[in-house]
Amino acid sequence: MNRRNFIKLGSLYFGSSLFASTQKLQKNENIFAIKMHGDLDDDLIILKSNQRTTEITDIHQMHNPKGTFVYNDKEYKINHCPGYIRFEKTFQIKDDEVYCICLVNEREEEEIPLTKRIRTHYKNEKLLFNQDIFLPALMPEYDSVPGYPLWFGEDEKPRSKRKDINGDTYNYYNLFENTTVQFGIVVPTSQVVQVYLFNQKNEMMYSYQQKATTVPQKLKPKEKINSHPFTEINNILNEDFNAQIENTDYINTVIIEYANTMHRIPMPYPIMYPNLLNLVATR
């Protein structure tokens, strides 16, 4: 199958929410801003959790023709993302809440069972927490992950005439569909946070314990794992597009503990990349 057939072009999305200035943020330490401008193929999903429930505050999807998405038994209207996003919004966090930022590779219209997913194409521009990079860019144009398999082969030319930093054609990383690729956790105060990832069999696969600060940081699993950013659960690194490694496990539940509170987060799309979790505190 020609890889180009997966790509759907759309007009640029310019809808945006109000982005608070840095001065306003300093006046209320419970306020933070999320900003993302640029390429996103496919989704941005933001979750808000307290100890009772988790809900979606914002959802932008690329391949969902239904126009709605069901999460935690509640239906949400989606915003369309045509492969480019312009998102700016401020949030207020309470002391018993956490926010989770999900950057997702999605193929909702295919209705693929989670165990039958394949690796196709993904990319994202950086996402900012206030003025700091929270979720880094994963862009072949920047050579974000050198040497990792790309989506378009040497014999295929995408419709876009854009070039990457090496002068090669516009491309994507070969990552799992219907997957949360990057996952960011926002907590209200600087403190030690514990994070646990559970698979579809309710087995704890990875755990993290780090002190959250107002500077975004990468979470590092306690378990021994290849340090490559695209290492999948089960310590699998798929380095050859033409020799795909089967990996049918996935993370569907995240538990976050801090300050004697516990948040159980059902994932809207499962996590596959345990090295791509990040953490930050608002104060």
pLDDT tens sequence across 57-100:
999 999 999 999 999 999 999 999 999 999 999 999 999 999 99
Residue count of the chain: 283
Give the chain's mean pLDDT: 88
Q: Are strands 74-77 and 68-71 parallel, antiparallel or unpaired?
A: antiparallel
Measured CA to CA, the distance from residue 18 to residue 30 in angstroms comes to 17
Label residue 140 left, alpha or beta by phi (over 0 means left) and psi (-120 to 50 means alpha).
alpha
Alpha carbon distance 128, 154 (integer Å): 33
Average pLDDT over residues 218-240: 97
- Contact, 86 vs 15, CB < 8 A? yes
Cα torsion through 78, 107, 254, 246, rounded to 10: 180
DSSP structural state of residue 140: G
Contact between 278 and 187 (Cβ < 8 Å): no
Whether residue 254 is predicted with pLDDT greater than 70 in this model: the reply is yes
Q: Which tops the pLDDT comparison, 177 or 167?
A: 177
Phi and psi, residue 20, nearest 5°: -70, 150
Domain count within the chain: 1
Predicted pLDDT at 9 = 34
List the domain range (segments joined by +) for residue 173: 3-281
The residues, ordered by sequence, that sit 6+ positions from 61 with a Cβ below 8 Å of its Cβ are 42, 43, 45, 69, 78, 79, 80, 81, 104, 106, 108
184 has a pLDDT exceeding 80: yes
**Torsion angle, CA of 110/267/104/55, rounded to 10 degrees?**
100
- Reported pTM: 0.88
pLDDT band for position 212 (cuts 50, 70, 90): very high
| Residue 256 reports pLDDT greater than 90 | yes
The arithmetic mean of pLDDT across residues 114-141, rounded, is: 94
Asked if the model's pLDDT at residue 126 lies above 70, the reply is yes
User: What is residue 169's three-state secondary structure?
Assistant: strand
Percentage with pLDDT > 90 across the chain: 76
User: Do 126 and 269 contact (CB within 8 A), yes or no?
Assistant: no
Task: Give the per-residue pLDDT at 165.
Answer: 56
- The pLDDT value recorded for residue 252 is 97
Q: Of 254, 214, 222, 247, which Cα lies nearest the Cα of 232?
A: 247
| Residue 197 confidence (pLDDT) above 80 | yes
- Place 162 in a pLDDT band, splitting at 50, 70 and 90: low
Q: What is the pLDDT of residue 260?
A: 87
**Whole-number Cα distances in Å, 226 to 219, 238, 249, 274:** 14, 12, 17, 10
